Every structure is written in C-alpha cells, then in structure tokens.
Amino acid sequence: MKAKKKLKLKKIYLHPVTAIILLIALVIVLSAVLSFFEMQATYSTVNPVTNQLESNLVTVENLLNYDGLKYMISNAARNFISFTPLSTLLVALLGVSVAQATGLFDTFIKRHMVKLDNKKITFLLIFLATISSLINDVGYVILIPLGAILFMANGRNPLTGIIASFGGVAFGYGATIFVGSMEVNLIPATTSAARLIDSTSHISLTSNLFIIIATSVILSIVGTIVIEKIIAPRLGRYKEPKEFQEENKTVELEVINIEEEEQRKLETELREKRGLRNALIAGIIVLAIFVYSLIPGLPFSGLLLDMNETTYLGQVFGDNSYFQDGFTYMVSIFLLATGIAYGIGAKTIKNDKELFNKAGDYMKEIGTLIIMIFFVAQLTSIFRRTNIGTVILAWGANLISNLSFTGIPLILLVLLVIAVANLFITTPLAKWTVLAPVVVPSLMQSNITPQFAQFILRAGDSMTKGITPLLAFFVIYLGYLNIYNPKKEKPITIRQAIAYVAPYGGIIAATWVLITIGWYLIGLPIGPGVFPTA
C-alpha cells in the first residue's frame, strides 16, 4: 500500500494593507452589532470650574448605516491629510534623506560609532528612544529610520534596529529625563481629581522627576539585554533582497595599484574630515539659533515659545507651544544643514540636482508605507468614531470604583485596567480624563499620593502601547519592517510585527510593574519632596 501524503495547509501572507482594510471592515460590522445590543457606559469627569463630578453617558455608534457611510466617505481625505504620522514622517525624512544621500550618516557611523561595542550602541539607541517622549512622538519618525541605518552600517540586521527604536519609544513612553509635555498635559486632570478629596492639593511639574529618570535608565538597560540576548539572535544576520544578491554575484577582476589606492584612501579621509568639520560648524550654528529662540526677553528671541502661558515650562511644552509643534521640523532642518555642509566639504555632491536626486532615491522606499498610512488613518478615525474604546475605558473605571481594593492589589488593578484600555485608546490624556476622577481619589483613600497615581498612569500607558495596531505610529514601525524586509514576496504582517516586539514588550511591562510596586514598598521619593504615600 502506498503511504498517504499528508496535506499541508498553505500559509496565507496577507499584505499589511489588506489586513488593515479587513480590520476596518471588522470595526464597522462590530459597531453595528454592539449598537444593536445598546452597548454603553457611564463615567464621571471633573468640571474644572465648579470642581464637581459630572456624569457622562457614552454609547457605541453604528457606522453601518446611511449616516455612518456618509461620515466615512466624506472624511476619508481629511483623515489622511490630518493624520499626524503622515506629516511628521515626511518632515522628518526631508532631513534624514539628505543626510543619508550626502554620506554624513555613513561617515559618522564609520568614524565614531563602529568603535563602540554593539551593546553600547543598542543601549544608546534605546535610551534616546525611551526619553524621546519628552517631546511628544518625535522618536517614532526620527529614530526608527535612524535605527535601521545605524544597525545596517554596523553590519547588523536593520530589523533589529527598527525593533529597538520602536520598542524603546512605545514601551518607554512614560519615562524621560526631564519635565516634558506629558506633565503639562496630565497635571490639570490629576489636580482636579485630587481636589475631590483634598481641596488644597497641588501637583508640581517636577513631582515625578526622580522616578522617571531612574525608570528611563532601568528600562534602557533591560531593553538592551532583551535586544541583544533574545531578539537579535532570533532575527539572525541580514540577508539582502534577491535583486541585490544577483547584482553582487558579478565580480570584476581589476589590477590595483597599491600606491594609487593608498593615495585615494588619504584623499577620501581628508574629504571626510573636512565634511565632518563643516557639518559640526553648521550643527553648532543651527543649535545656537534654536536655543536663542527658546530664551524669552532678548531681542527677536522667544520665537518657539507660547507667550500666552504664565510659566516657562508651559511656554515650552504647552498645548500651543511652537517648540513642541515644530520640533520634528527643527530636527529635520538640523539634518538638512549638517548633511549639505558635509556634502560640500566632502565633495560627495556636485550640485543641487545631484543632491535632491539622491535624496529622492531614499524617499522612493516609502511608497507602500504611504498607502498603509492612508488606511490606518481611516482605521483609527473610524474606531474613534464608534466610541467602542471609550465604553471599554469607562467599564474599567467603574470596575475600579466598585472593587474595594487597597494598597498593592489596587495598584495592580489600576495598572491592568490602564494596560487593557491602552489597546483601544493610546493617548494618555484621553485615558486619564476618564480614569483620574476614579483612580486618584481611590488611591488617595488608600494613602497613595496623587503624584504617584500619575506615575501609575505612565506605567500602565507604556506597558501595552507597542502591541496595538490602533497606535497611530505603529504603521511607521510596520512600514519600515517591510522596507528592510529581505523577502519582498512574503511581506511582514501585523501579527509578525507584533510577534517581533512582543518579547521586548512583555519584559519591559514586567519591569514597569516591578518598579511601581518596588518604589511603593521602599517609599523612596518620586520627586522633590514627594513620596508614593502621604
């Protein structure tokens, strides 16, 4: 008898764009089903004028009807154009493409970064990614491309650099080395909630300073270990796409004159040194202009400050701060200036036409990413319109208020609720507006300070941020994985992208929990004169 052949199911590789379209369809259908069953929730917010609780009813909105379809069609272009990752990515890549085209990155890495141990480079990249939340979401659009370039130039897998950059930003979003935009945005909600219990409560901007500095260092160390010991070995060496492999098969033999080769190397080194010197001078000038623009009261200074704010930190990091809104553009200008200065000094560019043609070649790689961004813009807008995330968040808030937990069990419950809600609502302020009126009083009644409650939000917000496609900047991570994917015929899917970063996210999430519980038990100050307990 002939042995029966085993049937093997063929693996289906859905292109990320197809998967995103299917997710959009799923959300639309889900909105209709949940609306039919009248899924709703009630939550409380604090009126900033009366300092009284106000009840809010939120229901799931059905998008599978005339009004819903009309909304999706009429807002498609607006959703795409106003989608923050699109504009910030394009602005960032203006500078990155020029610096790459002129050879500034390659020369800088060859002369300064190659000397460093791989672990030190990984730590530096993750540390910069972790503290980048000081200024909104700039880390996603600047450090993900640079992480790929840095690792590839060092002979390492660029996918590892992408994962390290994205993981550092997403899972370390609540940690930084100074007071930033997160404090300015969260403190009003924390203060209002705290005054429900104590009308004299005051939350200073530096109330979390000590603990976030320590956390940024700890997370960077742990993240480096995860990348070097788990993720890098799993990904292995980088294999170039087939088209490049075929090009590299052709080997031409040529007779090399040793003296001419040595002379050529000396000339190249001199040009590179001249280029780096020019880039340094240009960088110092640009930085000096930026710093001067942040100093109030001097002639023609304060250009980047919101002078309507009363405090300096509010002027720098407030909602209408020109520094915050324009920081990505400032970084791009810095890279443009240093890249062009290097190109002129090193003679890697002959004229403006050659410069922008080379820069354009780098930008060609993001065509598919732009398509992804269009559909992700629709997905996030449609999901937000359904109110599904807000209903889930409100349920979590009600769960916290109904369970009589205290101490560590209460902290763990709050962390869990925030981490789960973060899969659907990724903006810290949106979550805290709903949760603060419940979480802060509950923790204060358990002798836990509102300042520490705000840190707990940071921890929970960062624990799951990198594993949800509803994070607006997840598409940048997914897009760059596919740009550097050596197997173009098998695109890296959403599931694979999450699987790549999951070990990093899981261990960092556990680290957040240990830091939070450990700090609470030891009772170390979390900021100047501020402790976890009252």
pLDDT, tens digit (0-9, with 9 covering 90-100), for 55-82: 999 999 999 999 999 999 999 999 999 9
Residue 232: what pLDDT? 95
Which of 416, 398, 397, 396 has its CA nearest to residue 408? 416
Kindly state the tokens that stand for 21. 């379209």
- At residue 439, does pLDDT exceed 90? yes
pLDDT band at 311 (very low <50, low <70, confident <90, very high): confident
Q: At what angle do helices 322-346 and 258-292 cross, to 10 degrees?
A: 150
Residue 6 pLDDT: 53
pLDDT score at 230: 96
Q: Is the pLDDT of residue 302 over 90?
A: no
pLDDT at 243: 44
Q: Which helix (H) or strand (E) holds 355?
A: helix 352-363
The pLDDT-based confidence of 488 (bands split at 50, 70, 90) is confident
Structure tokens at 35: 């609306």
The whole-number average pLDDT for the span 354-380 is 90
Residue 307 pLDDT: 83
Residue type, 200: T
The pLDDT tens digits for 390-423 are: 999 999 999 999 988 999 999 999 999 999 999 9
Question: How many Cα neighbours within 13 Å face the side chain of 188?
Answer: 14
Residue 530, classed as helix, strand or coil, is strand
pLDDT in tens, 250-292: 444 445 567 666 777 788 888 989 999 999 999 999 999 999 9
Q: Specify the pLDDT at position 244.
A: 43
Task: Name the token pair of 220.
Answer: 């960077």
Report the distance separating Cα 207 and Cα 236, nearest Å: 43
d(Cα 508, Cα 170) in Å, to the nearest integer?
A: 10
Given this model, what pLDDT does residue 247 score?
42
Residue 502's closest CA among 466, 452, 472, 455? 466
d(CA 453, CA 459): 10
Listed in sequence order, the DSSP H helices in 227-257 are 232-235, 242-249
pLDDT at 288: 94
1 has a pLDDT exceeding 80? no
The encoded tokens of residue 316 equal: 């720098």
pLDDT on residue 253: 45
**Share of residues in the chain with pLDDT > 90 (%):** 66
Write down the H helix ranges in 37-180: 66-81, 84-102, 104-108, 118-131, 138-153, 158-171
Percentage with pLDDT > 70 across the chain: 94
Q: Is 132's pLDDT higher than 80?
A: yes
The pLDDT score that the predictor gives to residue 532 is 96
Assign 180 a pLDDT band (cuts: 50, 70, 90): confident
- Go through the chain and tell me how many residues it has: 534
Residue 151 pLDDT exceeds 90: yes
Residues 6 or more apart whose CB falls under 8 angstroms from that of 215 comprise: 172, 174, 175, 512, 515
Q: Read off the pLDDT of residues 40-53 as tens digits, 9 standing for 90 and up.
A: 999 999 887 788 88
**Phi, psi (deg, nearest 5) at residue 45:** -130, 160
Query: Nearest to residue 303, comparing CAs of 330, 337, 266?
Result: 330
Q: Which residue has the tokens 């007779």?
A: 255
For helices 428-445 and 181-194, angle between their N-to-C axes, nearest 10 degrees:
40
Residue 138 pLDDT: 85
Q: Report the pLDDT value the prediction gives residue 211, as an integer from 0 to 100.
A: 96
Report pTM: 0.90
Mean pLDDT of the chain: 89
pLDDT category of residue 300 using cuts at 50, 70 and 90: confident
Say whether pLDDT at 144 is over 60: yes
CA distances (Å), origin 30, targets 36, 81, 289, 376: 10, 26, 51, 17
- For residue 256, what pLDDT is reported? 54
**At 318, is the pLDDT very low, low, confident or very high (cuts 50, 70, 90)?**
confident
